[in-house]
Amino acid sequence: MAFPRKIPLFSTLVLLSGVLGVACDTSPQLPPATDSNIVDTVTMYALRGTNVILPSGFDLPSNAALRTDLGAFDFAFDIDPSNNAIMYPAGALGLPKDPGILPSTSLFDSLKTAPTDGYLDSAGVTIYPGLVFVVRSRPYFPGCELVGQLPRYGKFHVLSIDDNLRSVTLEALVNRNCGYRDLQVGLPTL
């Protein structure tokens, strides 16, 4: 009598493995977007020459500037000894090289979608007022439970650099949705 019970279980497992096999051969279907993209401003302080309690790093998944000694971050700001303002992807600071920075020639408002490749992951990018750049985060699991770890994307516009405070102020739009590359205000579709 146990035989009939095993057949449905076996069939279910075969069907499930086929579905998963097909899913592994194609791009993951992203879960529905839940967080709307908004434009905000953020100020970050240089890694060197500022108080340790000031935020030098930025974490895309939480859309927040933070201290680099208190948690994971995707990029950090510094001013080098030659007084150059630089954004460092985490990999340039000896951390995993998953996050990346990509300078753009587009205006902030006209940059609609994050590219999939071309990001610098192991060298700093010199920044200046007016520069627009895109950031890809490290792979991040929360919100991606059905498809695995995927990065988040954001675009940033350097509004000002204050040499006295050793700070940078950025206009920022971060898409906190799992794997979505849409960089427009509102609920993303891509």
- pLDDT at 78 exceeding the cut of 90: yes
Percent of the chain with pLDDT over 90: 75
Say whether pLDDT at 22 is over 50. Answer: no
CB 166 within 8 A of CB 49: yes
pTM attached to this predicted model: 0.83
Judged against a pLDDT cut of 70, whether residue 151 lies above it is answered with: yes
Round to the nearest angstrom and report the end-to-end CA distance of the chain: 51
* Whether 105 contacts 87, CB under 8 Å: no
Domain ranges for the chain: 33-175
pLDDT at 190: 85
